[in-house]
């Protein structure tokens, strides 16, 4: 194996390791946030309409689709959610 190929493989390995480390941390943070959102479903503590629930999940699904497109080379939209 040439020195050039060896260096290229090392760089790719570092990038791969960084991706795995950061992606795992960020996905776990998202999952924790979704668990926290689920706590809002307790009707003893919160009052909400079915339309508000639909809006919440429509926005979450829209964002997931947007991020999936980013991984496929698409563009990013930085809008904020409001009920």
pTM of the model: 0.75
What Rg do the C-alpha atoms of the chain give, in angstroms?
20
Residues 56 and 70 in one domain: yes
Give yes or no: residues 28 and 53 share one domain.
Answer: no
Residues 5 and 43 in one domain: yes
**Average pLDDT value for residue range 59-64:** 97
Res 82: pLDDT: 82
- Cα 5 to Cα 9: distance, rounded to the nearest angstrom: 6
**Among 29, 28, 37, residue whose Cα is nearest residue 60:** 37
Task: Examine the pLDDT at 57 and tell me if it is beyond 80.
Answer: yes
Give 4-56 pLDDT, tens digit per residue: 888 778 878 999 999 999 999 999 999 999 999 999 999 999 999 999 999 99
Determine which helix (DSSP H) or strand (DSSP E) holds 56, and give its type and residue range: helix 50-71
Instruction: Please list the alpha-helical segments (H only) found in 2-49.
Output: 3-38
Please state the domain count of the chain. Answer: 2
């Amino acid at each position: 194996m040439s020195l050039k190929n060896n260096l290229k493989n090392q760089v790719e390995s570092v990038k791969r390791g960084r991706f795995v480390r950061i992606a795992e941390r960020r996905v776990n943070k998202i999952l924790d946030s979704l668990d926290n959102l689920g706590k809002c479903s307790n009707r003893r503590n919160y009052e909400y309409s079915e339309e508000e629930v639909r809006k919440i999940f429509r926005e979450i699904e829209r964002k997931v689709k947007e991020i999936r497109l980013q991984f496929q080379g698409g563009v990013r939209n930085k809008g904020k959610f409001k009920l």
